[in-house]
């Protein structure tokens, strides 16, 4: 791999693979620095270059500026979260957790606790669209996974949760809001009992979505 701007050699496929590997290495370096320094605010293009042993111009060949790198990290984060949520659909995991909804909530929790800095970045980077067609595709995939989870009991005929099937988008929005709120309180140290109690409350949270909604005025 180049260290100071040397040309990547090999076939076109080999060069493309080498470029993707270096791109992934730079993103991984940013995550490592954030974990060591308490977040992404303090990372710089130079610190990333120093971390992997490349010159700064190499980093700029892959990312126009720090924001471009952070936007890609948001995409990476939601891609990883989507994979976690998809794995919750495994029958073995559902059996262990007590169903698709609790399995999905557990997967969400585990992702956030494993990389809190990336999780925060995913939900705080300004001017990243959400709730529209312009939202990052992996974020939309996460929403769909939450939507499937929150309507699963209704689809299975659970009479207490059937009403969610009539407004699945609203149910998914509310589930995401509840999960994000609980995770945020735990990560910020603002909930009694910390992560251990937060994980217990996660089970109570999912049970809320197995109950019928109270009538609302229109």
Residues of the chain with pLDDT under 70: 1-10, 153-166, 211-218
Token pair in block for residue 179? 């999960």
The pLDDT tens digits for 68-82 are 999 999 999 999 999
Mean per-residue pLDDT of the chain: 88
Domain 70-208 has CATH 3.40.50.20: no
- Which CATH fold would you assign to the domain 12-62? Arc Repressor Mutant, subunit A (1.10.10)
Cα separations in angstroms, 171 against 86, 125, 165, 194: 18, 25, 8, 27
Residue 126: its pLDDT value, please?
Answer: 93
Question: What are the residue ranges spanned by the domains of the chain?
Answer: 12-62, 70-208
DSSP 164: G
Residue 18: its pLDDT value, please?
Answer: 87
Residue 218: its pLDDT value, please?
Answer: 39
Residue 215: its pLDDT value, please?
Answer: 47
């Amino acid at each position: 791999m180049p260290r100071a701007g040397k040309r990547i050699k090999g076939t076109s496929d080999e060069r493309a693979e080498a470029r993707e590997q270096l791109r992934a290495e730079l993103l991984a370096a940013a995550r490592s620095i954030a974990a060591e320094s308490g977040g992404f605010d303090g990372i710089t293009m130079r610190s990333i270059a120093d971390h992997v042993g490349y010159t700064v111009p190499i980093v700029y060949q892959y990312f126009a500026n720090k924001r471009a790198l952070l936007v890609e990290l948001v995409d990476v984060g939601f891609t990883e979260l989507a994979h976690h949520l998809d794995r919750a659909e495994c029958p073995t995991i559902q059996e262990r957790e007590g169903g698709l909804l609790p399995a999905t909530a557990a997967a969400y929790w585990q992702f956030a606790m494993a990389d809190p800095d990336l999780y925060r970045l995913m939900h705080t980077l300004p001017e990243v669209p959400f709730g529209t067609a312009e939202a990052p595709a992996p974020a939309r995939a996460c929403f769909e996974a939450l939507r499937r989870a929150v309507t699963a009991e209704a689809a299975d005929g659970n009479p207490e949760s059937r009403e969610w099937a009539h407004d699945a988008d609203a149910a998914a929005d509310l589930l995401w809001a509840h999960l994000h709120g609980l995770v945020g309180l735990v990560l910020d140290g603002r909930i009694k009992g910390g992560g251990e109690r937060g994980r217990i409350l996660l089970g109570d949270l999912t049970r809320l979505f197995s109950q019928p909604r109270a009538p609302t005025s229109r």
